[in-house]
Amino acid sequence: MDIHNLLKKYYGYDEFRKGQEEIINNILDKKDTFAIMPTGGGKSICYQIPALVMEGITLVISPLISLMKDQVDSLNSLGINAGVINSTQSTEKVRETMYKASNGELKLLYVAPERLDSEAFFMLLQTLEVSQVAIDEAHCASQWGHDFRPSYRKISPFIKRLKPRPVISAFTATATIEVKNDITNILELRSPEVFVTGFDRQNLEFITYKNENKRDFILDYLNNNKDKSGIIYAATRKEVENIYTLLSKKDISVGKYHAGMDDLERKENQEKFLYDDIKVMVATNAFGMGIDKSNVRYVIHYNMPKNIEAYYQEAGRAGRDGEDGECILLFSPRDVVLQKYFIEQTVFSTDRKISEYRKLQSMVDYCYTTKCLRKYILEYFGEEDVKDKCDNCSNCKDSSEVVDITIDAQKIFSCVYRIRERYGVTMIAEVLRGSKNKKVLNLAFDKLSTYGIMKNYTIKEIKDLVNVLVAERYLLQTEEEFAVVKLTNKAINVLKNNEKVMQKVHKKKKAVKVDNSLFDILRNIRKEIAKRESIPPYIIFTDLSLREMSKKIPLNKVEMLEIKGVGEKKFEKYGEEFLEKIIEYNDENNIRNLEEAALDSDKSKEKDKKKKTPSHVVTYNMFSKGSSIEDICSERDLKDSTVKEHLLKCGLEGLEIDWDMLIPEEKEKIILDTIKEINSYRLKEIKEKLPEDIDYSTIKAVICKHKAV
């Protein structure tokens, strides 16, 4: 089977995304494969298409029940037979799935790593032809990763027992070089081909705000984004409850999710979020991995996460459909104290603790850096030759004035030097501010030349400046709970007046109003179908598909199949309902005839390719040579309304049209009088004032005739 045909037939896409085709071919060549692809980059297609091509069954190992359920629902909606076995199912349901697998009815079977302990499950697989084992969220195998799961260590011993050994594919969205090497060793991949398609998510805007009033910010933001789905992450259960209560009192459509809730309540809230019954989910990091909801438009971190890996994984849940998403981080110094507390309470290995502190400092530096945020993240994951400016983060898009802070930086560096690089940020700030703190006085720091030289600043402002200088590598913080600040060579250059230090302040972005009328109509249809089918709305069509429908206004099956994400199976299931509403909207608002010509069938597209002539001009040429509208419809396999749309567009472009062929004489005056009376060209308003026997096509023709004259 041709993989391009499968991509179009089942997924509705004409071409693969970056790296997908190479990864698929590598798996089909029976080579172990390790792929690092950004969230939303299409990892699942990379093992699903090989599963369709290869004989036998593909076993997919995935960490969360919700992730597996979403994947299986999505595959079944595409017409691909897939099953799942998990701990929440009844014995009867598990037996039914295992029977289907043994009967050759499934191409993909999803299981959690814990299932690998079951001897009965292993005996089942021994009776099947397992062609591929796909490991999703592979970073869970590494103790150096941000979401280590001991159960992932069982995968390699399990695979060793399978005879013959299937091809192994492993996928993750985030992995440093250290984690990447760890995964390869733990899963015992054999001479794997490693594909890194890049970590960049160009559709995401990264934004950091320091020392904002977080509650006010959230209320203001949600007020400006009422119709969008989003996630707000907080560091503790208590913080989640507080934010949830705040938003509930403001009548915001909100749910909550954390480990302190019972399983049923968590499941119900998650389902409501997936089905768009609630718009905002407030959660700890217990929520998210495996949530395949594609239309999350924003992720707000109320508190700073523990490291860049966790942040990028969580922020990456925005914009999975390729549409724009915002990743907002609200930072305050208290977040650092909280994360250090978590490290001390949960990490006991000395080496691991040092590693966690190093990662935490990288996260703090991200919050304070004035350079491109995207560049910072990509370089953290080892990407090279990254552009200095992305134009889609709060630092790059900020238009505020760049301020020279060299003098203040020199004061701070001098203070660090005079206290002999033995103390942390707070002590530095207190000395510079001229604090009468007992410890400052006991150490005789009030006798230093730098004591009180920044008394016009608050302690908080000085600490912020110190953190900026750490983020920009002028200062270094040691990797321990009570970090000490030290000078770097960059700071020495500044002290010698060989280098200047610059800083800028962010500006808040105002919300932009967009006309989403057709998109909202299509979204409502999607929600109705989702309830009827008992599946999440985004499994039917993603926001990206709906927005493309809203932009291109497809008016028949051929055009609908040109929309990204609309494959043959999905059109058979859902396409007609969407098409009916789009046609109705188009007739009421007079869109297509004024903005674009249709390519209405395979026959007309082929003619246009050969002649390199626009479709509406092909219609016009036939009409000019004496073909009737009926003849053109028959020969080109077009609708009557489409042929008229073509002719109307030609008229607007200045080509000579016999308007009498399109407009009955007795109706033209009535239409013109009505337009003059209501002083509007809106089709729906005009139609409501006219006799029922005057259709939309005639109204459009009159409007086009008089605009063309």
What are the tens digits of pLDDT across the range 180-239?
Answer: 888 999 999 999 999 988 788 899 999 998 867 788 899 999 999 988 999 999 999 999
Does residue 220 share a domain with residue 208? yes
Which pLDDT belongs to residue 450? Answer: 96
User: Which tens digits make up the pLDDT trace of 325-353?
Assistant: 999 999 987 788 889 989 988 888 888 88
Of 456 and 636, the structure prediction assigns the larger pLDDT to: 456
Rounded Cα distance, 353 and 359, in Å: 10
Share of residues in the chain with pLDDT > 70 (%) = 92
> 337: domain CATH number?
3.40.50.300
pLDDT band at 598 (very low <50, low <70, confident <90, very high): very low
pLDDT at 510: 53
In this structure, the answer to whether residues 439 and 316 fall within a common structural domain is no
> Token pair 């599946």 is at which residue?
535
Residue type, 194: V
Report the length, in residues, of the chain.
Answer: 709
| 461 and 608 fall within a common domain | no
Q: What is the CATH number of the domain that holds 546?
A: 1.10.150.80
600 pLDDT band, cuts 50/70/90, is very low
158: its two tokens:
């399990």
Query: Does residue 413 contact residue 449 with C-beta atoms inside 8 Å?
Result: no
pLDDT of residue 64: 77
User: Is 372 in the same domain as 434?
Assistant: no
Task: Annotate 32-62 with b (16+ C-beta within 10 A) or e (fewer).
Answer: bbbbbbbbbbbbbbbbbbbbbebeebbbbbb
> Does 515 fall in a domain?
no
Tally the domains of the chain.
5
pLDDT of amino acid 302: 96
Q: Are strands 475-477 and 485-487 parallel, antiparallel or unpaired?
A: antiparallel
Question: What mean pLDDT value characterizes the chain?
Answer: 86
The residue written with tokens 């494959």 in the block is: 567
Q: Are residues 388 and 408 in the same domain?
A: no
The mean pLDDT of 260-284, rounded to a whole number, is: 91
Same domain, 581 and 641: no
Q: How far apart are CA 367 and CA 237, in angstroms?
A: 23
The pLDDT-based confidence of 52 (bands split at 50, 70, 90) is: very high
Strand order, beta sheet including 296-301: 204-210, 325-331, 296-301, 229-233, 280-283, 254-257
Closest CA relative to residue 43, chosen from 32, 52, 34, 54: 34
Of the residues 444, 476, 503, which one is the last residue of a structural domain? 503
Q: Is 447 exposed, middle or buried (0-12, 13-18, 19+ CB in 10 A)?
A: exposed
Containing H/E element for 209?
strand 204-210
Residues 308 and 391 in one domain: yes
Residue 432 predicted with pLDDT over 60 = yes
Q: Within this chain, do residues 384 and 484 fall inside the same structural domain, yes or no?
A: no
Q: Phi and psi of 507, rounded to 5°?
A: -115, 145
**What single DSSP character describes residue 612?**
T
DSSP string, 105-141: --SEEEE-GGGGG-HHHHHHHHTS-EEEEEESSGGGG
| 33-47, 177-191, 305-319, 625-639, range with the lowest pLDDT | 625-639
Contact 530, 273 (CB under 8 A): no
Helix (H, G, I), strand (E, B) or coil at 403: strand
In a domain, 624, yes or no: yes
Identity at 638, one-letter amino acid code: L
| Residues 108 and 39 occupy one common structural domain | yes
Q: CATH code at 425? A: 1.10.10.10
Does residue 668 sit in the same domain as residue 595? yes
Amino acid at 669: K
DSSP 314-349: HHTTTTTTSS-EEEEEEE-HHHHHHHHHHHHHH---
* DSSP per-residue string spanning 524-550: HHHHHHHHHHTS-HHHH--HHHHHHHH
Higher pLDDT, 489 or 598: 489
- Give the span between the Cα atoms of 529 and 537, in whole angstroms: 8
Tell me whether residue 173 is in a domain: yes
Range of the domain at 476: 403-503
Q: Look at residue 630 and tell me whether its pLDDT is greater than 60.
A: yes
Let me know if residue 317 belongs to a domain.
yes
In sequence order, the 6+-apart residues with CB closer than 8 A to the CB of 561 are 12, 567, 568, 571
Tokens encoding 482? 């009570």
User: What is the rounded CA–CA span in Å between residue 19 and residue 72?
Assistant: 24
Mean pLDDT of 577-605: 66
Name the DSSP letter for residue 195: E
| Residue finishing a domain among 571, 588, 605 | 588
Single out the residue of 179, 233, 236, 488 nearest to residue 355, CA to CA: 179
The predicted model gives 610-622 an average pLDDT of 73
Whether residue 550 is found in the same domain as residue 525? yes
pLDDT in tens, 223-266: 999 889 999 999 999 999 999 999 999 999 999 999 899 988 98
Residue 543 sits in the same domain as residue 670: no
Which of 588, 618, 640 is the last residue in one of the domains? 588
The β-bridge partners of 580 are: none
Evaluate whether residue 513 is within a structural domain: no
Nearest to 495 by CA among 587, 559, 410: 410
- The answer on pLDDT for 596 being more than 60 is no
- Kindly report, residue by residue over 53-92, the tens digit of the pLDDT: 999 999 999 887 777 888 898 899 888 999 999 888 888 8
User: pLDDT-based confidence at 40, cuts 50/70/90?
Assistant: confident
Q: What DSSP state is assigned to residue 393?
A: B
98-129 burial, b at 16+ Cβ within 10 Å, e below that, comes to beebeeeebbbbbbbbebbeeeebeebbeebe
Give phi and psi for 92, each to the nearest 5: -65, -40
Q: In this structure, is residue 179 part of a structural domain?
A: yes
Domain assignment present for residue 708? The answer is yes
Whether 509 is in a domain gets the answer no
Question: How would you class 63 by CB atoms within 10 Å of its CB: exposed for 0-12, middle for 13-18, buried for 19 or more?
Answer: buried
